[in-house]
Each structure stands twice: as C-alpha cells, then as structure tokens.
Amino acid sequence: MKEKVVIAHVSDVHVTSQYFSRELEKNVVNEVNRAKPDLLVVTGDLTNEGYLHEYREAQSFLDQFKVERMLVVLGNHDSRNAGYIIFEEIFGTRYPSVEVGPVKVVGVDSTEPDLDDGHVGRLAYRIIENELKDFSGVKVVALHHHLVPVPGTGRERNIPSDSGDFLKLLSDLNVHLILCGHKHVPWLWRLNGMLIINAGTATTLRLKAHTPPSFNLLTISRRQIVAERVNSETLERQQICSVHIEA
C-alpha cells in the first residue's frame, strides 16, 4: 500500500465561459501532469450552462490529464439545463468514491437544478455514512458548494441549506478533509478537527480583486496532510497547511 498519496484539486473550470483562459488551461494541465498525482479531484463547474457541447469541451479538457484516477463532482453550472443527466451519462454517478492507499475520497452532489443555491440531502448522508463509517484511513469528502462562508466573496447566499446537519455528520464520522469550490476564492478553515479547503477557479479570469487563479496539490499520509496552493498564472507554490492527523 502506498504510504503517501498526492491529490490534485482543481475547481471551477468553466470551459466555455468568456473568462476561460487557454493559457491558464495549458499551465494547469502541464503542472498537474508534472506533479504526477495519484488522484485528480474536480469539485464542479466544468461547464458554464450544462449544455451537451460544453460537456464535450469539458471531456477534452479532462482528457489532457495523465492520471490513473479521477473523481469529478457536479457543480451548480453543470446542473443547469438538465446538465445533471449528461453528467451521469459521462461520469456514471453523482456520488463517486475512490480509494487509493490510506485515503478514501467520496464525492457528493450538492446542486439543485437551475439554482445557484446548494443542498446536500439525506440520500447523500446515507451514502457518505455507508462509505466511510468502517473505513480506518484518511477520510475525504468532495463537493462543489462551500460549507462555511469564505471571506472576501461578498454577501453570503449559496451555502447548502443543510450545511449544519451535513457538517455534524462529517464530524461524527471523523472526516479529516473536505474539498470544495464554487466561490472562486481559495481559503482554508479548521473546524472540529476537520480541514476544509476551498479551491479557487483554476482556469478563468473571473476573479475577486487581486485573487489569482489557482488550484491545490495535497500530499496525504496516515499521519499528515500537507496542502499547497498553486498559482495558475505563475505556477508559484505556497504551502497553506501542514496538519497532523490524530491516530
């Protein structure tokens, strides 16, 4: 079994948006491939309106990554215009799970069709519980919507309506890491022993003030989570946390 697992965390790609940058796309793809991650996690908004032709563009984007394992969750933009149907046709499920080495990642659909607001729902609670309750390694949950407010993103509107109940479930299950996106602003919170990492937009120029586009690289072992934020423009890396995992 692998002792350390590298995860690339990319979010809010918006391949057909007017703000999408081919230069940033090239940078992100090349840098992720250079890092040779064990798993690529994409926390939603691959598309802009959920149309079929956009999903085809998104597939072309993802096909550039030279990774053995990939976990993709649905974003609010992907869910528009019945895009959630196309998502399931391409990716198979809105609740994926991947286990690699000591790490298990479970993905959750937090979207409501044609709404920007989020909702996780009790179906997802049961799935998460069944996937993680007996797992003894590092537990990771990935979803699109942020569960805790992100500073510098304006008036708060889109936190999942049941985020309190969902966070309690994750805490009760001793989840170690939560990966999300949505707000295009990277941030990190510690809550009840859980590490919550929000990714910025990796490939667009739809940015708040001087916030650069970015994505995350995480190195995880049974004892530690080390996270780096990578600037998609300059490819500069900044370590944002090194967290010890209690046995």
Tokens representing residue 210 in the block: 């001087």
Which residues are paired to 66 by β-bridges?
none
Q: Above 80 in pLDDT, residue 107? A: yes
CATH superfamily of 5-244: Metallo-dependent phosphatases (3.60.21.10)
Whole-model pTM over 0.85: yes
User: What residues contact 204, with CB distance under 8 A and at least 6 apart?
Assistant: 12, 13, 14, 17, 19, 20, 21, 24, 184, 213
Residue type, 244: H
Q: Above 90 in pLDDT, residue 26? A: yes
pLDDT per position as a tens digit, 43-92: 999 999 999 999 999 999 999 999 999 999 999 999 999 999 999 999 99
pLDDT at 247: 62
Ordered by start, the domain boundaries in the chain are 5-244
Which residues are paired to 190 by β-bridges?
195
Phi, psi of 70 (to 5 degrees): -145, 135
Q: Are 97 and 109 in contact (CB under 8 A)?
A: no
Q: Above 70 in pLDDT, residue 174? A: yes
**At CA 127, angle to CA 65 and CA 99, rounded to 5?**
40
pLDDT per position as a tens digit, 219-246: 999 999 999 999 999 999 999 999 999 7
